Amino acid sequence: MLVSDEVFRALLEAVLDGRYAPGEKLPTQRALAADLDVTMSSLREALKRLEQMGLIEVRHGDAMRVRDWRAHGGLDVVAHLVLRSGAVDAAVLGDVLEARELMLRELARLAAQRREDSEAGRLVELAAMFAATDDPRAAQAVDFAFFRAVAEAARNIVFLLILNAIREAYFEHADRVPVTADPAALAPRYDELARAIERGDAEEAAATAHALAAQQTAWVREALRP
C-alpha cells in the first residue's frame, strides 16, 4: 500500500503531466483511494499538500477540481517539474538555470550597493572557504551559503525566500546538477565577486556573478548531454 508521500507524488505527476487537465474534476476521494490502494487518511494528506501548492481546488460539498499549475503554482512546483518521473527535464532545468543567472546577477548588484562592512567581510571569508575545498559536494554547500550571504547583503526578502524555497531540492539533487563540478576553476570568481561587493562596485559585482553562474550552467548542460 502506498504511503502519503508516494500518493502525493503519484497525483502530482498526473497533474503536471496533464493526465488531469486544468478545470477537470478529480474522482471522488473514495474512488481515488481505491484506485491507488491507499487509506483515506493518506489520500487526504496528499490532497491537502496539492491544495496548498495551488494545484487543486477543494470546496465543501463540491467536487475537487484541478487548477492550471502555470497560473497558480509557486516555486515549490519547480523541483518537481525538473525531476518529473525521476528523470531530469532538460528544458525546465534550462529555464531554472537561466532564471538563476539573472537572479544572482541582480543580487550581486544590490549587495554591492547596500552591504554592511561585516557582510562584505563574511563574503570574503566564504570565498576563502570555497577556495580551500576540492570536494564538489562540500563546495556546493559553500556556494549556497555564499549566495545566501549575498542575498542578505542585498536586503531583499523576496530573494531570500526564493533561496529558502529551493534549498531542499538544491541539495537533494546535487549530483544531477553539478554547479560546483570543478571548485578550483570557480574559486577565483568567488573571490572577485566578494571583493567587488566589498568595494561597492555594483557593475563589476553583477558581471562577475553572471559569469560565475554562466560557467555553472555550462557544466550542468554538459552533464546532461546524451
- Regarding whether 91 and 36 lie in a shared domain, the answer is no
> Which CATH number fits the domain that encloses residue 192?
1.20.120.530
For the stretch 81-126, pLDDT in tens is 876 656 667 788 888 889 999 999 999 999 999 999 999 999 999 9
Residues forming beta bridges with residue 65, ordered by sequence position: 25, 57
Please count the structural domains in the chain: 2
3-state SS assignment for residue 54: coil
The mean pLDDT value of the chain amounts to: 89
> Which CATH number fits the domain that encloses residue 31?
1.10.10.10
φ, ψ at 56 (rounded to 5°): -135, 160
- Regarding whether 84 and 69 lie in a shared domain, the answer is no
For the stretch 7-49, pLDDT in tens is 998 899 889 888 999 999 999 889 999 998 899 999 999 999 9
**Domain end position, chosen among 54, 73, 92:** 73
- Regarding whether 82 and 68 lie in a shared domain, the answer is no
Confidence band of 62 (pLDDT split at 50, 70, 90) = low
**Domain end position, chosen among 73, 103, 134:** 73
- As a whole number of angstroms, the distance between CA 48 and CA 8 comes to 9
**Which pLDDT belongs to residue 1?**
44
- Regarding whether 82 and 64 lie in a shared domain, the answer is no
- Regarding whether 103 and 13 lie in a shared domain, the answer is no
The pTM assigned to this predicted structure is 0.81
Q: Which domain holds residue 126?
A: 78-224
- Regarding whether 116 and 202 lie in a shared domain, the answer is yes
- As a whole number of angstroms, the distance between CA 84 and CA 74 comes to 16
**Domain end position, chosen among 73, 99, 117:** 73
Any idea of the CA torsion for 127, 108, 159, 9, to the nearest 10 degrees? -60
- As a whole number of angstroms, the distance between CA 203 and CA 104 comes to 13
Q: What percent of the chain has pLDDT over 70?
A: 95
- Regarding whether 109 and 58 lie in a shared domain, the answer is no
- As a whole number of angstroms, the distance between CA 96 and CA 83 comes to 12
- Regarding whether 39 and 91 lie in a shared domain, the answer is no
- Regarding whether 103 and 57 lie in a shared domain, the answer is no
| Interacting residues of 117 by C-beta distance below 8 A, sequence separation 6+ | none
Confidence band of 172 (pLDDT split at 50, 70, 90) = confident
- Regarding whether 100 and 58 lie in a shared domain, the answer is no
Instruction: Find out whether 180 and 136 touch, Cβ atoms under 8 Å.
Output: yes
Between 26-30, 142-146, 209-213, the lowest mean confidence (pLDDT) is in 26-30
- As a whole number of angstroms, the distance between CA 89 and CA 83 comes to 6
DSSP state of 86: G
82 CB neighbour count, 10 Å cutoff: 22
Smallest Cα–Cα separation from 32: which of 55, 59, 10? 10
**Residue linked to cell 554591492:** 112
- Regarding whether 101 and 68 lie in a shared domain, the answer is no
- Regarding whether 48 and 143 lie in a shared domain, the answer is no
**Which pLDDT belongs to residue 3?**
78
